[in-house]
Structures are given as structure tokens and as C-alpha cells.
Amino acid sequence: MARRDGRSANQLRPPQVELRPLQRADGSARFRFGDCTVLAAVYGPKEPRTRHRELCDRCTLDVVVRPRVGIPGPQERQMEALLARQLEYVVLATEYPRTQISVIVQMSCCDGSTAAVAGNAAHLALLDAGVAMKATAMCVALGVTWEALVMGEDGDLGKMVKLSPEPVIWPLGVDLEASSGNKGQLDTYRLDPTELEEAQCDALISLSMDGSRNQLVSHISSGAPLDATIWSSCIEAADKSCKACLDTAFSRVSRDAGTARRRHCGTVDRRGAGAVRKGSKRGWQFATG
């Protein structure tokens, strides 16, 4: 089923990553899924602002979410709580005792799946800051439409989607095999919904997966309750799309940062041959170079 922007049901919008857009922060990242953009900055590990926030064996993780316009309200508080729990799982807090790590998330442009994009931006900003993490988790959002389940089935809702097609990221040219069958059953969920699609969906699930270990970091559903089989197929879908998203986003990041590093670090200082001007003071290296 074609969506308004031409994607199929299991296609993500192309992810775009920009690392270190902010020079003063310890780490920062801007993440986009299509039009939805979120900027995240990390300050820390640093001394906690107040003494009583200090924990003797681990760091305190502080998350602040700022909306695009206006003052933060209950929705922002909820996203802060959710992000804090996600990041607490991922960050190796025991490596930084008695310190505080602040993560500030700024919504730039909201076009659906904001919680997922915010989670991704926060993870990448932590990576940029060099904070020790035990996993790289990616978040993705799914919209489930209930009407499509009710119509056109034989009344046997137990036989719901067995996820067959692989998620495809469009149009980056990452080719994953898409299987041809089960066209009618694809209507049940939409990966990475835009704001208009979110309004039409009956249930919205935001999932965060740690691809390497096949661990689900968090997921929140809102809207109508769903069958158990649909849950497992949604988790499968998110698993595959998170892995695909991770691969493409990180390969892009390495490629872009590699060129940036060559621009900054590759010039030879006039003072002496062989002396290379250092790039950023943190000297952050990419594995792929």
C-alpha cells in the first residue's frame, strides 16, 4: 500500500546524521528522519550542580527536553522520563562515579515519530561525547492501523502478519531483499509514520532496540490495545529496521566525518614537515577512518 510520500508500509524515511553541529558542547548530534529533526547535546561527565545529586558509585543522568515552541509541558516531561530510562540502560554509569551527564534535547522540526528521533539523537550525541556505552541502540516508531486488520481477513485475527519483507531504507540504495508475498497483510503497520499518518493510526509504538544483542531497550504503546501476535511481529519489524538504520546511519557518519577529519587534521603545519595540526581537542577517532 503506497503512502502519501510514496513509501511502502515497511520503509523508513532516509536517516541523516550530523555530528558535532555545536562546538561548545562535549558532544552533539542532529538526527533526521525525513522532515523530523531533533538536535541533542551532551555536557559531561562533569561535577554535579548540587551535592545531593551525587551518587557514590555511578553517574547521574539528567535529561532535558525542550519543545519546538513554548515552555516544556507534561509531554516533554514524559519524554524526559522515557529517554532517561533508555539512556540509563545504555550508558555504563559505573565508569563515571560522582559525576553528572546532562543530555539536552531540542526539537527542531516535528513530523511524526518524534520520540524515536529524539532517542536516536541522544544516543548519537552520547557517542560524540565519548561516553562509555554498552550498546548502540536505535529507535524507530511504528503505527498500527486496526481497521486494516478487521477488514479483509477471514475473521481469524489470530493468523496475523508473519513479517516477511525486510525493511528498506529509501532511497539510499541499500538493497535488502523484499519478498513478494503477503501484500494484503502489509497494511497492518506503517514504519516511521509522519504526523498525518500518526493521526490516522490506531496505535503507535515507539521501540528502541539494541541491534547487536537483540535486546529491546524500551517500547511504549499508545492508542488501541493489540493482539499478542501483532506485538511480536511489530518487535520483529523494529528489530530489522533498527539494524538496517544503524548500519546505514553509521556508515554515513563515518564517511562524512572521515572527510571532515581529513579537512581539519590532514593539513601539514608550516612549522615543520611531518607535524600535523591536531583536529578537535578530544581527538575523536573513527574505526573506519
Single residue of 3, 54, 55, 84 touching other proteins by CB under 8 A: 84
Task: For residues 259 and 242, give the distance between their C-alpha atoms in angstroms, rounded to a whole number.
Answer: 26
Q: How many CA atoms, within 13 angstroms, populate the side-chain half-sphere of residue 210?
A: 16
The reply to whether 215 sits near other proteins by the rule CB under 8 A is: yes
For 220, other C-beta atoms within 10 Å of its C-beta total 14
Q: Angle at which helices 114-129 and 228-265 pack, to 10 degrees?
A: 40
Binding of other proteins by 74 (CB under 8 A): yes
Decide if residue 77 touches other proteins (CB under 8 A).
yes
User: Rounded to the nearest whole angstrom, what is the least distance from the CB of residue 224 to other proteins in the complex?
Assistant: 7
Q: Does 209 bind other proteins (CB under 8 A)?
A: yes
CA-derived radius of gyration, the chain? 21
Q: Which residues pair with 61 in a beta bridge?
A: 101
Amino acid at 186: L
For residue 214, the minimal CB distance to other proteins (Å) is 5
CB 189 within 8 A of CB 132: no
- Least Å from the CB of residue 20 to other proteins: 27
Residue number, 9 or 238, with CB nearest to other proteins: 238
- Close Cβ partners of 81 (under 8 Å, ≥ 6 residues apart): none
Residues 249-288 binding other proteins (CB under 8 A) are none
Is residue 97 within the footprint of other proteins (CB under 8 A)?
A: no
CB of 81 to other proteins, least distance (A): 3
> Considering only residues 128-147, where is the footprint of other proteins by CB under 8 A?
135
Q: Could you give the CA distance from residue 5 to residue 172 in angstroms, rounded to a whole number?
A: 15
Least CB distance from residue 50 to other proteins, whole Å? 10
Residues in contact with other proteins by CB under 8 A are: 74-75, 77-78, 80-82, 84-86, 88-89, 135, 209-210, 213-228, 231-232, 235-236, 239
